[in-house]
Structure 1
Amino acid sequence: MDIQVARFVRSTLSTDEERELARVDALADELRRHLQEHAADIDLVHVYRAQSSAVQLIVSSLLTERLGFGEEVVVPESEGFVTRARPDFFYELSPARGIIAEVERGGTTTNNHDLKDLWKAHISPNAHHLFLVVPNANWNEAGAARERPFARVRSRLGAFFGEARREVDVVSLHVFGYGRSV
């Protein structure tokens, strides 16, 4: 199964943000290739009642070991916000500029983890990009797809991009769909 990818970008970017986005897109492409190379491994661990940490471990092997992301780094509090957000992964592009990467599984849409992750990137003073790794489908005990998070996340979070009135303070969102869909 090919890894599905959806990319969303704020409607208006500064010249610096455009340059930064080129770096972010290159990292996103590395992640997509890594997920594709390990698709069979992901399918083995992405089964009914499996722990999300199994998929996160596969993603971690690229993000932390090869690309230099920190794992479970506490994001500093913003003025007026006391969040102490702790994303799965964080990458510093430059001082006060970075990427949050989150790996989700069962609660992606049922527990609104996708919306929480976007909110975390929005209110974090040093995160301006979000990589969100979600399942193409989640399975029930009988082995049938009970929900399709990638399609839902693409639709829900895509609504926050493309028109200035709806946009949040996140420059880009890359959503990666892993695992089989049928």
Structure 2
Amino acid sequence: MITYVRHVRSALTPEEVAEVALVDGIATRLRSAMADRRQELALAHVHGASSSAIQTLVSEILRAELAFDEEVVLRPEDQFVTQARPDFFYDLGGGRGILAEVERGGTTTNNHDLKDLWKAHLAPNAHHLFLIVPQSNWKPDGSAREKPFPIVARRLGSFFGNPRREIDVVSLHVYGY
């Protein structure tokens, strides 16, 4: 099963409401495509497997089915020297877009989820984030070592729903494989 949580800023302009509807449609298509390939994802997500195995499967969906580009260097924000390079980027037009990041082992232990949100926050042409994370990471004996999906959904959700805490990312879509 592919789990999913969506967070959206509390106050949106009419243009952002329309944009979120478009992004929600893409998000639904991604979730459906991942659900169709959940067995392949489960077989690739085992203890000791390469992160690239998951990224390759998700890449096939994002690139072939949803027209995302892979590893596009985003425009640096004035005064920032970062050259953010997300795993995937979808251009919505008008200088707006969706970042998609695929995580595995370091999702919460190395704070990759927070780094991905930071990347979306700083990139002037990224306004939505699709974050694809494991529901569980495994020990050698096959038992769960940690459960990144609920942690990510909760802690990144804290940046939405209250204007005082919100950043400029319009929507966050977290997928658990």
Contact 2:69 2:88 in 1 (8 A): yes
Separation of aligned partners in 1, 2:81 and 2:22: 30
SS for the counterpart of 1:102 is strand
Number of residue-to-residue matches in the alignment: 177
Separation of aligned partners in 2, 1:82 and 1:50: 33
1:60 maps to a residue whose letter is S
Give CA deviations for 1:90-132 in whole Å, capped at 9, x if unaligned. 0000121000000000000000000000000000000000000
SS for the counterpart of 2:18 is helix
Separation of aligned partners in 1, 2:164 and 2:49: 40
Partner of 1:95: 94
SS for the counterpart of 1:56 is helix
Unaligned regions of 5+ residues in structure 1, if any?
none
Paired residues for 1:1-182 under 5 Å = 2-178=1-177
Give CA deviations for 1:48-89 in whole Å, capped at 9, x if unaligned. 011111111111111111211100000110111111010000
2:158 maps to a residue whose letter is A
Separation of aligned partners in 1, 2:164 and 2:51: 35
SS for the counterpart of 1:169 is coil
SS for the counterpart of 1:86 is coil
2:140 maps to a residue whose letter is E
Unaligned regions of 5+ residues in structure 2, if any?
none
Separation of aligned partners in 2, 1:41 and 1:18: 35
Separation of aligned partners in 2, 1:99 and 1:160: 17
Give CA deviations for 1:5-51 in whole Å, capped at 9, x if unaligned. 00000000000000000110000001100110000000111000111
SS for the counterpart of 1:176 is strand
Separation of aligned partners in 2, 1:106 and 1:99: 23
Separation of aligned partners in 1, 2:15 and 2:73: 26
SS for the counterpart of 1:174 is strand
The Cα RMSD (Å) is 0.6
Separation of aligned partners in 1, 2:143 and 2:65: 35
TM-score (normalizing by structure 2) = 0.99
TM-score (normalizing by structure 1) = 0.96
2:130 maps to a residue whose letter is F
Separation of aligned partners in 1, 2:96 and 2:59: 21
SS for the counterpart of 1:11 is coil
1:80 maps to a residue whose letter is Q
